[in-house]
Amino acid sequence: MAVLPIVRLGHPQLRTPAEALEPEHLATAEVQAFIDDMIDTMREAGGVGLAAPQVACGWQIFIYELASDDPEVEIPLTVVVNPMVESAVRELEEDWEGCLSIPDLRGLVPRHAEVRLRALDRHGEPLDYVAYDFEARVIQHEFDHLNGVIFLDRMRDFRSLAFMDEWREYLASEDSDVLDEAVE
Ligand code: NI
């Protein structure tokens, strides 16, 4: 297991759509070791999500996890392969996001509050579930990475863009539900 370097905005992989994995390839030691490395990398960075293009890999894999003592808040480690994401609700809700590949910035990003995710898990078993609110936001952010899209592309208005220190000082509210891939 190893911590991989996280690439930043400007690296071409972040703008390259990822490719689906054949189930036989997913089962190989190479891909399974890569998934373990992604988990190490996300935890080392203190992130809640990580997509393969962020470690310069072009496979359709993302992972997410929110560790918390509060079972209402906690999101268990989830490994998502070859995902399809759709939303039945048209309304979008804005909330704050950050990204490990765009360090130190936060902005308000509109997202669906509910999404249905269909994918494979790391063992090639089907995943099919509906996620809400913060988890739905994480899924949309990470799914975007697999399509070469970053959160800045989703912002309606760059006037909310802020550096972390200034965000904390001037913009954070106690009820803001932040998706910051590097949760401090
Ligand atoms: Ni990101």
Q: What is the mean pLDDT of the chain?
A: 93
In this prediction, residues 5-16 reach a mean pLDDT of: 98
| 142 classed as catalytic | yes
pLDDT over threshold 80, residue 121: yes
Q: pLDDT tens digits, residue range 42-72?
A: 999 999 999 999 999 999 999 999 988 888 8
74 CA distance to ligand 1 centroid (A)? 19
Task: Please give the distance, rounded to the nearest whole angstrom, from the Cα atom of residue 182 to the centre of ligand 1.
Answer: 9
pLDDT cut 90: percent of the chain above it: 84
Ligand 1 centroid–CA 165 distance in Å is 19
3-state secondary structure the chain: CCCCCCCCCCCHHHHCCCECCCHHHHCCHHHHHHHHHHHHHHHHHCCCEEEHHHHCCCECEEEEEECCCCCCCCEEEEEEEEEEEECCCCCEEEEEEEECCEEEEEEEEEEECEEEEEEECCCCCEEEEEEEHHHHHHHHHHHHHHCCCCHHHHCCCHHHCEEHHHHHHHHCCCCCCCECCCCC
- Residue 171 alpha carbon to ligand 1 centre in Å: 21
Point out the catalytic residue in the list 65, 97, 135, 142: 142
- The answer to whether 107 touches 95, Cβ cutoff 8 Å, is no
Q: What is the pLDDT of residues 144-177, one digit of tens each?
A: 999 999 999 999 999 999 999 999 899 887 666 6
Q: In this predicted structure, what is the pLDDT of residue 182?
A: 58
pLDDT exceeds cutoff 60 at 184: no
